[in-house]
Amino acid sequence: MKKLLALLVISSLATGALLLMASFSGPMIGRGTPAVTLTAGQTVKEGSLVSIEYVLRDETGQVIESNVGKEPLTYVHGAGQIVPGLEKGLAGLGRGARKTVTVKPEDGYGPLNPDLVQEMPKEKFPAGSLDPGTVLMMQTPQGPIPIRVREVKEKTVVVDLNNPLAGKTLTFDVTIKDIQEASAP
């Protein structure tokens, strides 16, 4: 027996469009009409627990990060756990949906902040860690943050406290792997 899957869209003046998924297997009844059990399709909405697979690229198309073939990233939609531009781009999608979302710096990790490029005394750094491009962890009252060494001078080190993705337009190729309904608080 073949297993068939159908999508139905039902409109209502009160609720707008509602997407329902019909799943059925077995014999057809009558003139090609299947026996159907309907269940409401889930979409990404405020409070949904969403699992995604993604590939993150920079402006040049270079892959920065990917979880393809690994554990999906799971987040609560609307809780600010992912960058705002990506969150907006995923709203309303259903399980299995694929989408490319381009996120400008203002909706991602923000613009580069020149105030976050600072000079610090060289003696504050461990020996052997002063190559440009090296990323170190700096302890702050809010917890550890990464800092990048930009330049090493005679007595100081120029460091960048900006997020490495700040100021960049990012492209996310995303597949919605799972959506769970929001649970009651």
pTM of the model: 0.68
Sheet holding 143-152, edge to edge: 117-121, 156-160, 143-152, 135-140
The confidence score (pLDDT) of residue 184 equals 53
The CA R_g of the chain, rounded to the nearest whole Å, is: 24
The pLDDT assigned to 7 comes to: 28
Q: Shortest CA distance to 49 belongs to which of 90, 21, 7?
A: 90
Three-state secondary-structure class, residue 139:
strand
Q: pLDDT value at position 162?
A: 93
Q: Would you give per-residue pLDDT tens digits along the chain (185 residues)?
A: 333 332 222 222 232 222 223 332 333 333 333 332 223 468 999 999 999 999 999 999 999 999 999 999 999 999 999 999 999 999 999 999 999 999 999 999 999 999 999 999 999 888 777 889 999 988 889 889 889 999 999 999 999 999 989 999 999 999 999 999 866 55
Amino acid residing at 43:
T
Give the pair of three-digit tokens for residue 42.
Answer: 């889930």
**Confidence at residue 177, expressed as pLDDT on a 0 to 100 scale:** 97
Backbone φ and ψ of 84, nearest 5°: -55, -40
pLDDT at res. 128:
75
Neighbours of 125 (CB within 10 A): 19
- Tokens for 58? 């920079």
Query: Would you state the pLDDT for residue 26?
Result: 33
C-alpha to C-alpha distance for 8 and 21, rounded to whole angstroms: 6
